[in-house]
Amino acid sequence: MQIIIYILIGISGGVAIATFIDRFIGKSLLNKVKNKLLEADEEIKNKKREFELEKKEEFHRIRTELEERTAREREELRHLSQRLIEREELLDRRLQELGKKERKLFFKEKQLEEERDKVKILETEQRQKLEKLSGLSTEEAKKILLERVKEEIKEESTQIIRDAEKEAKEVANRKAQEIIATAIQRCAVNQVSELTVSTVSLPNDDMKGRVIGREGRNIRTFEALTGVDLIVDDTPETVVISCFDPLRRKIAEISLKQLIMDTRIHPARIEEIVEKAKKEVENIIKEEGEKVAFDMGISDLPTEIITLLGKLKFRTSFGQNALAHSKEVAYIAGMLASEIGVDSAQAKRAGLLHDIGKAVDQEMEGPHALIGSNIAEQYGEPPEIVHAIASHHEEKPAESVLDFLIQAADAISAARPGARKEVLEAYLKRLEKIEKIANSFPGIEQAYALRAGREVRILVQPEEIDDSRAIEISREIARKIKKEMIYPGQIKVMVIREFRSVEYAK
């Protein structure tokens, strides 16, 4: 019994002790935790105030730097504007000087014409005297007279040409060339420069010598194969490719870049690279055609039509890119059709294909509208689209709403301000006509108009044309150009006959 009492007393004491510990010691720990939390909260607030202060200082520093940089850029722009004004004044003065020199050259040309007239009068008088005094037959006298007059005219004309070239070289030195180039760039729109000239950067100026080659053999081979004019002047680390045909210029640009990367530049390698570049350009043409068809949402065009569309990227009309013009006409025709409740998809298709004939009009006779309609009909286009293509320049009378829509869209695209340049188109047509005249003679392999139409370079087939015939062809082409064309100055006709003999050691 006593043991039970002791046990109960022990249990009661333990409970009392536990109650005391929980009441007094627990409160002390809780107060310590609260104090720690208050201290941590205060520290967080201090850190936050420090961070905000640093952020404000960083923002003030960035704003100060931005203001200083803006001030510097404004000052640079002011200096640049002043330099441009001074440059324009210099160009005006140079243009005045150029006008004086052009007038002087005009008078010289007039004097040359007078000299030629005098030679013709002398030729007539000598022919009459020979017929009276020689006592020869008419044919014999004519033959002797022609030979004599030919020699005299040749000597006189050679001397006149030498004098003119000497004077021209004295006048048209390097400074004059720079003035003319600057004047052309200022007076013409940027589009002309982009359509006739491309520049290729070189890793260093030593590469120019490798491009030219020993005695100029590399540059001559390159120009003969590509039909472009390669200009290697004093411009540092730059070569200029000049050609009125964008397709030739693109092939030449790709070829030259690959040759520069390859560093092995010699005639055989140039010929190989040019062939590869032609294939690469064919791929570019196909990709461009597929891209424009995708952009217009037309997915069922034949592969041949897509290729012809890609070729339009390398054709221009009055300075306007033919492919960009076709896309523009398609968009305008589609919008007009939507407004009046006509099938917009059909209008877009006809607008995109309306100038397809320009892709091959250099190879075929006739207006490009009729050529394009024949191509569209050949590859299964609907009759209404074929007729819309044929009638967009009224080669055929317009009959349907679609015909009038395409005519209107074409006129809108061509007539908007800055779209086309008549002067550039006339220039390109003159170059094309020069090449066409040269190619009209039998035995001609290729003909290229170079140096802004001042020179035509002709490659003949050596198996058909011998050296003496090559001389005759150059004279015949020069006479035909003089008879059929009107042009300023003179055109140099260069006939190149190259014979190759190939054999393989097996």
Q: What is the mean pLDDT of each run of 10 residues along the chain (506 residues)?
A: 65 61 61 80 84 86 88 88 88 87 86 86 76 65 72 72 70 47 33 61 83 86 86 81 83 88 85 90 88 85 88 76 86 84 88 86 79 90 91 86 87 62 63 87 87 81 86 89 77 84 74
Where do the CATH 1.10.3210.10 domains begin and end in the chain?
312-420
Where do the CATH 3.30.300.20 domains begin and end in the chain?
424-497
The whole-number pLDDT of residue 173 equals 54
- 63 vs 57: CA distance, rounded Å: 10
List the CATH code of the domain at 424-497: 3.30.300.20
Distance of CA 12 to the CA centre of its chain: 107
In eight-state DSSP terms, residue 396 is S
The whole-number pLDDT of residue 422 equals 46
- 12 vs 392: CA distance, rounded Å: 116
Q: Cα dist. 294→195, 250, 346 in Å? A: 26, 24, 15
List the CATH code of the domain at 312-420: 1.10.3210.10
Backbone torsions φ then ψ of 382, nearest 5 degrees: -60, 150
Which fold does the domain 197-286 belong to in CATH? Ribosomal Protein S8; Chain: A, domain 1 (3.30.1370)
pTM for this prediction: 0.47
Kind and range of the H or E run holding 239: strand 238-242
Amino acid present at 200: V
The whole-number pLDDT of residue 384 equals 92
Q: How many CB atoms lie within 10 A of CB 95?
A: 15
Where do the CATH 3.30.1370.10 domains begin and end in the chain?
197-286
Q: At CA 20, angle to CA 15 and CA 22, rounded to 5? A: 95
The whole-number pLDDT of residue 188 equals 34
In eight-state DSSP terms, residue 504 is -
> 271, 225 in Cβ contact below 8 A?
yes
The whole-number pLDDT of residue 176 equals 40
Backbone torsions φ then ψ of 231, nearest 5 degrees: -105, 115
